[in-house]
């Protein structure tokens, strides 16, 4: 009699447990149908763990790749007139360091987000200033290996490993003027993708090189972008004062145009990457 009562009680408990499990399973399935993002959010978060900090990081799910992050910091502001009509562009023989990667031989296509361009730069100027920035690197030995191609536009304002190389203005979490992300294969150093995000919270302008007085209260878009493209082709940041006049100097300044053109030290470095 006692055995029967115990068995009957266990049967009731198991039945209740099965009902609870069935309810929980049904609830999860219901939420997945209505809100798939809730269920996949954790997975997406795991796939996007690249921090906005200088360094080299693993690529989740792809052990053959690494991603390098460059954060371009502003120099401390200095007192200056509103316009500088006597700015200089001195050369530097200091040879910049290299990252260990290179763009693959052939056509390298990129996409621009014209809608993100600050009005003080002008979306109609974006293609022109970008072409000028790319052409500076294309006049080096890079031209023997890589052809840069504007493939179209994008609406993206954040980095993503999605097969498209983008240049856009967007938000960065810190005080970076711009952040460049480069995904590359560790086996042979080939670049898989690179994205550059210019920080929209700063004051920007564009002054064509040697055509006008430069605005000393804003950062010049071509000046900063030319530096960022140096990372695309495989050059590192330099912070020592001996590199202050190099395009690859790791700090950017307001009213600065000298990064529009490469120094002999920048050219020597990129020649070693694309002999």
Same domain for 118 and 227, yes or no, is yes
Q: What pLDDT is stored for residue 84 in this prediction?
A: 85
Return the closest-CA partner of residue 191 out of 73, 268, 101.
101
Mean pLDDT of the chain: 86
List pLDDT tens digits, range 81-95: 578 888 889 999 999
Q: How many domains does the chain fold into? A: 2
Residues 64 and 79: their CA atoms lie apart, in Å, by: 48
Same domain for 21 and 98, yes or no, is no
Q: What pLDDT is stored for residue 45 in this prediction?
A: 34
Same domain for 258 and 203, yes or no, is yes
List pLDDT tens digits, range 137-151: 999 999 999 999 999
Tell me, rounded to whole angstroms, the distance of Cα 192 from its chain centroid.
13
Instruction: Give the CATH number of the domain where residue 79 resides.
Output: 3.40.390.10
Decide if 157 contacts 170 (C-beta within 8 A): yes
Asked whether residue 59 is domain-assigned, the answer is no
Same domain for 160 and 257, yes or no, is yes
Same domain for 85 and 192, yes or no, is yes
Decide if 108 contacts 145 (C-beta within 8 A): no
**pLDDT over 80 at 63, yes or no:** yes
Asked whether residue 98 is domain-assigned, the answer is yes
**pLDDT over 50 at 47, yes or no:** no
**pLDDT category of residue 10 using cuts at 50, 70 and 90:** very low
Asked whether residue 62 is domain-assigned, the answer is no
Same domain for 12 and 135, yes or no, is no
Asked whether residue 66 is domain-assigned, the answer is no
Return the closest-CA partner of residue 228 out of 60, 72, 23.
72
Same domain for 106 and 175, yes or no, is yes
Tell me, rounded to whole angstroms, the distance of Cα 84 from its chain centroid.
30
Same domain for 194 and 261, yes or no, is yes
Residues 182 and 168: their CA atoms lie apart, in Å, by: 15
Tell me, rounded to whole angstroms, the distance of Cα 82 from its chain centroid.
31
Same domain for 218 and 105, yes or no, is yes
Asked whether residue 56 is domain-assigned, the answer is no
Provide the H-helix boundaries in the chain.
2-34, 36-47, 123-138, 221-233, 264-273
Same domain for 26 and 126, yes or no, is no
**pLDDT over 60 at 3, yes or no:** no
Expressed as residue numbers, the domain containing 169 is: 74-273
Q: Which residue has the tokens 């200095």?
A: 78
When pLDDT is averaged across residues 194-198 and rounded to a whole number, the result is 98
Same domain for 208 and 260, yes or no, is yes
Q: What pLDDT is stored for residue 44 in this prediction?
A: 36
């Amino acid at each position: 009699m006692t055995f029967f009562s115990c068995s009957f009680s266990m049967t009731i408990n198991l039945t209740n447990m099965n009902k609870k499990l069935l309810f929980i399973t049904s609830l999860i399935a219901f939420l997945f149908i209505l809100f798939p993002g809730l269920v996949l959010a954790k997975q997406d978060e795991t796939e996007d763990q690249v921090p906005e900090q200088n360094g080299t990081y693993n690529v989740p799910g792809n052990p053959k790749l690494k991603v390098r992050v460059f954060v371009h910091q502003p120099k401390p502001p200095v007192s200056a007139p509103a316009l500088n009509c006597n700015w200089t562009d001195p050369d530097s023989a200091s040879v910049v360091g290299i990252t260990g990667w290179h763009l693959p031989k052939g056509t390298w296509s990129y996409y621009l987000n014209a809608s993100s361009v600050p009005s003080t730069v002008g979306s109609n100027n974006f293609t022109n200033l970008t072409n000028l920035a790319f052409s500076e690197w294309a006049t080096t030995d890079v031209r023997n290996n890589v052809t840069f191609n504007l493939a179209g536009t994008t609406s993206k304002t954040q980095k993503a490993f999605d097969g498209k190389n983008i240049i856009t203005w967007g938000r960065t979490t810190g005080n970076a003027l711009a952040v460049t992300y480069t995904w590359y294969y560790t086996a042979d150093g080939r670049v898989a993708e690179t994205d550059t995000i210019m920080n929209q919270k700063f004051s920007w302008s564009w002054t064509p090189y040697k055509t006008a007085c430069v605005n000393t209260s804003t950062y010049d878009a071509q000046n900063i972008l030319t530096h960022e493209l140096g990372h695309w082709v495989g050059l590192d940041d330099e912070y020592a004062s001996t590199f202050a006049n190099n395009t690859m100097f790791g700090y950017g300044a307001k009213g600065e145009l000298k990064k529009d053109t490469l120094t002999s030290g920048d050219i020597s470095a990129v020649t070693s990457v694309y002999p």
